[in-house]
Amino acid sequence: MGFVSDTVDTRRIEGKSATYAYRDFGVASSSPPLVLLTRFRATMDHWDPAFLDVLASERRVILFDNAGVSESSGEVASTFAGMAETAVDFIAALGLKKIDLLGWSIGGFVGQMLALNHPGLIRRLLVVGSGPGGVPGSPVQDPRVPQMMTAPVSTEEHFLYLFFGLDEESQRVGKESLKRLEPRLSKSHADVSAEAWGRQLQAIMKWAGGDGSAWSRLEEITIPVLVANGAHDVMVDAGDSFAMVRRLKNAKALFYGDAGHAFLFQHPDEFGKATLDFVR
């Protein structure tokens, strides 16, 4: 049996900064819609359909490629504040006044800047496999992480190391997640150009160093926030997620002890339901 999200057509809409490729599916009558922002070097086709289908069982779900990514025109901003502005451009083009937002990885960085610079737009925010940037004492990444993140071609080995735990069960589940991506990717071959992810990387380096990050401004975010991560995330240390929760005024934390950066794909049913509970 296939996934509903694999059958959704891609639409396009004209904004002020770009023409955006997006998908809109799920329970159309639910309000506000749940908008998803994805990770470094990812497109709409890199969301695990098992996770998407859980969300779409109760909510209107909107995926899109931000400016300069894959099928969307324009240029990738070199800061996450800039990426937040093009996300707002897309949201405004759809005529939406209020959303719930789930940002995974760098999508979580963008989501925080959206919440900070456009208060009133987001009702509830999920910061997933992400952090506020510039956390004092945050551990240095294993050298293998940036090497694999910036490899010219992403391989299965890279994906499994970066996103899943190194134990046998986590690796097995990671391979299953990769297989679930195949129906879309085998047809679209969707990718992020080297120029585009190079600009994303510039933004990551600034953010990690605290330049324009959310760390010093977290207390300004007063909407409900769910911060979630895998305890063994090699890209965004789970300690950064915990540090973030301690500074937010209205936050809850959820950690998966057996998972890494892609815990939401390792536990699509469980975290999908947790997401629905939070935005319900």
Find the CATH number of the domain harbouring 265.
3.40.50.1820
What pLDDT, on a 0 to 100 scale, did the predictor assign at position 1?
A: 64
**Close Cβ partners of 104 (under 8 Å, ≥ 6 residues apart):** 36, 37, 38, 39, 128, 129, 130, 264
- Cα–Cα distance measured from residue 115 to residue 243, given in angstroms and rounded to the nearest whole number: 18
Q: Which has the closest alpha carbon to 201: 209, 185, 190?
A: 209
Dihedral class, residue 74 (left if φ above 0, else alpha if ψ from -120 to 50, else beta): left
Number of domains in the chain: 1
Question: Quick one: how far is CA 188 from the chain centroid?
Answer: 20
Give the residue carrying structure tokens 């800061």.
Answer: 79
Looking at residues 5-9, what average pLDDT do you find? 97
Q: Specify which residues 65 forms β-bridges with.
A: none
Using the predicted structure, report yes or no on whether residue 56 has a pLDDT greater than 90: yes
pLDDT digits (tens, 9 = 90+) for 95-131: 999 999 999 999 999 999 999 999 999 999 999 999 9
Using the predicted structure, report yes or no on whether residue 165 has a pLDDT greater than 90: no
Indicate the average pLDDT of the chain: 96
Using the predicted structure, report yes or no on whether residue 160 has a pLDDT greater than 80: yes
Write out the residue range of the structural domain in which residue 38 sits: 4-279
How far the first Cα of the chain sits from its last, in Å, is 27
Using the predicted structure, report yes or no on whether residue 168 has a pLDDT greater than 70: yes
What pTM does this model have?
Answer: 0.97
State the pLDDT confidence band at 261, using cuts at 50, 70 and 90.
very high
